[in-house]
Structure 1
Amino acid sequence: MLNWTKLLNESRRKDRLKAVDISATANGRFEIERDYDRILFSAPTRRLADKTQVFPLDKNDSVRNRLTHSHEVATLARSIGLRLVYENEGIFCEAGSSQFLQRSIPALLAAIGLVHDMGNPPFGHQGEYAIRNWFVKNKPDIFGESDEGASDFLNFDGNAQTVRLVSKLQILNDQFGLNLTYATLAALIKYPVSTEGIDKEKWKKQGFFKSEAKIVAEVWEATGLSEGIRHPLTYIMEACDDIAYSVLDAEDTVKKGLASYYDLLRYLEKNCAEDPVAQGVVAAARKHSSEFEQGSLSPQELNDCSMQMFRVHAITAMVKAVVEQFSVLSNDFVGGQQIYKGIMSVSPAAKFCSVLKDFDMAYGFKHKSVLELELRGNNYIEETMDMLWVGIHGRLSKGFKSETPFGKYVYSRISESYRRIFSDPGNDLSVGYKEAQLLADAISGMTDSYLITLHSELKPLYDRHCS
């Protein structure tokens, strides 16, 4: 049985080294509130502005990137948190004062919403596929006959990289990363299993790497969680990601001219005509678009304004569904019950959300222009990994395979903090694992533009190196 007092643990890993306990507030803030600020001002958050959400390298500033997506997820999560603590505070019984709950719950949800994609590589999910494919092709060269740790990279996922970034890679002056509270660390672990715990019927991805397993175990002990048991607030963050993905990616698809607002309405009417949530949203949206049609708007303005109002009604309906469903299920979550497909899948908005995602896939993600850019991104990533590998492989072993002029140079182009962790004598992982992880760290930390620039810089040098 979980309890909210431990689930909202304000302590930090670094606190264990302090002689006295810290105050419950700092500069007028509760500790959990400080987590959002630490995430917001970190360099990896800023880099999200040049990482693909859906449409790579888009020149239209109004089309979302990974940072705008993350801010929108954070805002939705904070909004739901505010509704829960003001409308149904009893959910979090005996977890602290009303002031603590009213400030900490929304802040925690905003923090995990903002950070949830921090570990994603350039070019979105295509980047994850490219990294996995590279490791599949090069597994014998990296791990030899041993499979120790190989599955972490054959199943590489941005969620696990996020945990690594905030708990270790984002170095200040020690080994604690951003030193977030136990509550925030626990709630940002979207999949509460290691690679060995991946199950197509349960948690479909890993939530952390072998290299962070001890940290995650410490977080779980501090919050009362354990392998396979997700923090209840993670469900809200996941649902907000679903809302942003389904509604806002549809808006971007329309904004790019890959489909129209009327295409979207027709798709919904065809595929979920009997769904009450869809019916309500479509009816409200049509009422507004009919009013807009009476004005002097151009066809493009009419399309844009109508889509904006659709977004408002769709988000309102889906947020309402999540608030109500979490309120119903909160006691089950505290009792350890898991919903592997997420809270949205059992909410009144489940069908509506699913059909919107189908629309996004059919009209946006599978458009030939998107597929072409994804292919380019895939090639940039795999070729850059080939080049970086020259500088990484063998560096920790006798023989110094990477001690060539090109190897030395390309190694110097990797983040100094990542290299420090890689070469740390206290890092007791296998050489193959450490080499693979440095490569994954380096690629994941790049933005779309930086990756392309680095690729262009290194490719001529690499070709001469190989000749």
Structure 2
Amino acid sequence: MDKGKVYSIDWEKYLQPERLRQSGTHASIEWDSRNQFESDFGRVIFCPAIRRMHDKTQVIPLTSGDTILTRLTHSMQVMSVAESFAHYYTRSESFIRTYGEKAYAYDASISAILRTAALLHDIGNPPFGHFGEITIQNYFKKYLEDHHIIKERQAWDFTQFDGNALGLRIVSMLQYTGTLDGLNLTYPTLGAYLKYPNKGKANGDGYVGEHKHGIFETEEALFDKIVSCCNMKVDDKRIKRHPLSFLVEAADSICYGTMDMEDGYNIQWYTFDNMVETLNKYIYQIAIKNKKVDALKKYLTDAKKPETFSIEKLIGFNRKWKDGTEKDKRRLILDFRVALIGYLTKLAIDNFENNLEAIDKGEYSNELLKDDDLDVFGALSDFAQRKIIARRDIQELELTGNSVINGLLDILMSYAFSEDKKFRKKIKAVISKSRMEATLHENFNKEVRFKTFNEEDLWNFDIEQLDNYSKLRLIVDFVASMTDKYSLELYQKFAGLKM
């Protein structure tokens, strides 16, 4: 791409600072010089759902080690990379030349949106991560096949359960303080968060934003407002991603791709040489398969042998200090990770700029890191599957998670659909008060903006008053919002394994 030119996307169409409800708090503080998107960040970082992420591990669940990534530390790292993307893009000479005086306002807005959306990106992940998602999906595929109690559209929210969809529900409603507005974030921040702006069934062969079912029925009205405000509608049938969501996705991929590898190395699951050799072999084989051998040429240790491709040469990594002495093991993995993040960051921002016109038109249907002749991110993903995810201890913990989530759902479902009122009543003692209040407000008092419930309201409420979809919604909201350890402890109590 000619760095002297930037595709002149109309950022005004994507950055309108509108909310579901215009809050008086931010505007009423005269000395508060933050823009609306910077206000969003404050709302998010102080919310309880963010705090709970410290007890959700990234890859290795239920670990007692204090150096292993949690969802919170991972999200902070994603936030850092995403903010770097903003600065690389909006502080370049070409961007400033293209947008003139508006460039500085765009820099502040885009930076704040990316920072907040990145911090949010995993907020809807259930216990035990992506395997927890699969467990919930499989549970309801079987249950709803045997019990036809809700409509097909409603069933997708459970049989195709996705943490991204739950995340939108958490920030827009389940952070409940007497109103159904949740954190009341701006539409552009929510648009950048939405990885899968798709109300329909997952379509793995379709547009990148349709690869998963990303919107629950309960958030459809909000989603329509986000789409309208953020210029995300292509035509009557097609919805495109917000352009900034591509950068949030890339920042997430960079962080889990590099940090999971570093975690495994620090646990001593493999040596540095084994790691590098595995990555080199994958990249070489993919280049041969895709007939991209020419892309290897500058990064060979022997100019005549493509099989001598070196990822170290590609990312500009050196095993020695400038004085020729060898780096120790800790410094090796740290410097390798830094160099790898640098390579992937440049790849992502270059692909973003090169494809911005297609992104703007809703025609770009790829992840930024996958537009790479050498498929470095593919090498990291393959390595993680072979050397980390496939390990016996990881598989055993995932099976534990499967038992925990299935067990909790079995018990809560039996309570919710019991014919005996005494059993139905027990569910109110288990599910948190704020979840129960949010359910009462959403189902019976939706026309009231602010609502206060007293003990009598909760005492007299019978879950039988809810329709079947709302019963399932309440249970899944509760289980999927749990931390790893809390879900295990609660299951052990329910199963009589722990008093």
Structure 1 length-normalised TM: 0.87
Q: Quick one: which of 345, 349, 372 aligns to 2:396?
A: 372
Q: Deviations over 1:253-308 (max 9, x none)?
A: 111221121111111221224655986751378963244997698xxxx3322111
SS in 1 for 2:152: coil
Match of 1:360 in 2: 384
Rounded to whole Å, the distance in 1 between the matches of 2:101 and 2:174 is 32
Match of 2:193 in 1: 188
Summarize the Cα distance change of 1:461–1:303 in structure 2 as closer, same or farther, 3 Å threshold.
closer
SS in 1 for 2:115: helix
1:343 partnered with 2:368: yes
User: How do 1:353-432 and structure 2 match up within 5 A?
Assistant: 353-393=377-417, 401=419, 403-404=421-422, 406-423=423-440, 424-426=443-445, 431-432=467-468
Structure 2 length-normalised TM: 0.82
Rounded to whole Å, the distance in 2 between the matches of 1:318 and 1:63 is 22
SS in 2 for 1:71: helix
User: How do 1:432-447 and structure 2 match up within 5 A?
Assistant: 432-447=468-483
Rounded to whole Å, the distance in 1 between the matches of 2:111 and 2:30 is 16
Rounded to whole Å, the distance in 1 between the matches of 2:281 and 2:120 is 36
User: How do 1:83-98 and structure 2 match up within 5 A?
Assistant: 83-87=88-92, 90=95, 97-98=102-103
How far did 1:244 drift? 1.2
AA matched with 1:232: P
Match of 2:458 in 1: none
Question: 8 Å contact 1:380–1:452 — kept in the other structure?
Answer: yes
Q: Quick one: which of 428, 440, 450 aligns to 2:486?
A: 450
Match of 2:357 in 1: 331
Summarize the Cα distance change of 1:25–1:241 in structure 2 as closer, same or farther, 3 Å threshold.
farther
Summarize the Cα distance change of 1:257–1:9 in structure 2 as closer, same or farther, 3 Å threshold.
same
AA matched with 2:272: Y
Q: Quick one: which of 170, 174, 181 aligns to 1:176?
A: 181
SS in 2 for 1:196: coil
Q: Deviations over 1:301-353 (max 9, x none)?
A: x33221111101000011011111111111222223231x31221246x6011
Match of 1:261 in 2: 272
* Deviates most, 443-452 or 415-424: 415-424
How far did 1:142 drift? 5.4
Summarize the Cα distance change of 1:371–1:25 in structure 2 as closer, same or farther, 3 Å threshold.
farther
Rounded to whole Å, the distance in 1 between the matches of 2:379 and 2:497 is 48
Q: Quick one: which of 285, 294, 312 aligns to 1:282?
A: 312
Match of 2:20 in 1: 13
Q: Deviations over 1:235-266 (max 9, x none)?
A: 00111111112111111111122112111111
Q: Quick one: which of 155, 159, 165 aligns to 1:150?
A: 155
SS in 1 for 2:496: helix
How far did 1:58 drift? 1.8
Match of 1:223 in 2: 230
Question: 8 Å contact 2:156–2:213 — kept in the other structure?
Answer: no
Rounded to whole Å, the distance in 2 between the matches of 1:292 and 1:142 is 68
How far did 1:444 drift? 1.3
* Deviates most, 364-373 or 103-112: 103-112
How far did 1:461 drift? 9.5
Match of 1:48 in 2: 53
Rounded to whole Å, the distance in 2 between the matches of 1:201 and 1:231 is 17
Rounded to whole Å, the distance in 2 between the matches of 1:60 and 1:193 is 38
How far did 1:60 drift? 2.0
SS in 2 for 1:389: helix
Rounded to whole Å, the distance in 2 between the matches of 1:189 and 1:270 is 35
Match of 2:335 in 1: 309
Summarize the Cα distance change of 1:112–1:89 in structure 2 as closer, same or farther, 3 Å threshold.
farther
Rounded to whole Å, the distance in 1 between the matches of 2:331 and 2:343 is 19
Rounded to whole Å, the distance in 2 between the matches of 1:458 and 1:119 is 24
Structure 2's unaligned 5+ residue stretches are 1-7, 285-292, 300-308, 448-464
AA matched with 2:112: A
Match of 1:77 in 2: 82
Match of 1:397 in 2: none
Rounded to whole Å, the distance in 2 between the matches of 1:433 and 1:329 is 41
Match of 1:232 in 2: 243
Rounded to whole Å, the distance in 2 between the matches of 1:23 and 1:328 is 42
How far did 1:99 drift? 3.0
How far did 1:146 drift? 4.7
* Deviates most, 166-175 or 145-154: 145-154
Question: 8 Å contact 1:128–1:158 — kept in the other structure?
Answer: yes
AA matched with 2:469: Y
Q: Deviations over 1:384-422 (max 9, x none)?
A: 11112233336xxxxxx3622x54334322122222232
AA matched with 1:390: S
How far did 1:147 drift? 3.4
SS in 1 for 2:330: helix
SS in 1 for 2:124: coil
Question: 8 Å contact 2:123–2:167 — kept in the other structure?
Answer: yes
User: How do 1:52-71 and structure 2 match up within 5 A?
Assistant: 52-71=57-76
1:319 partnered with 2:319: no
How far did 1:145 drift? 7.3
Rounded to whole Å, the distance in 2 between the matches of 1:174 and 1:222 is 22
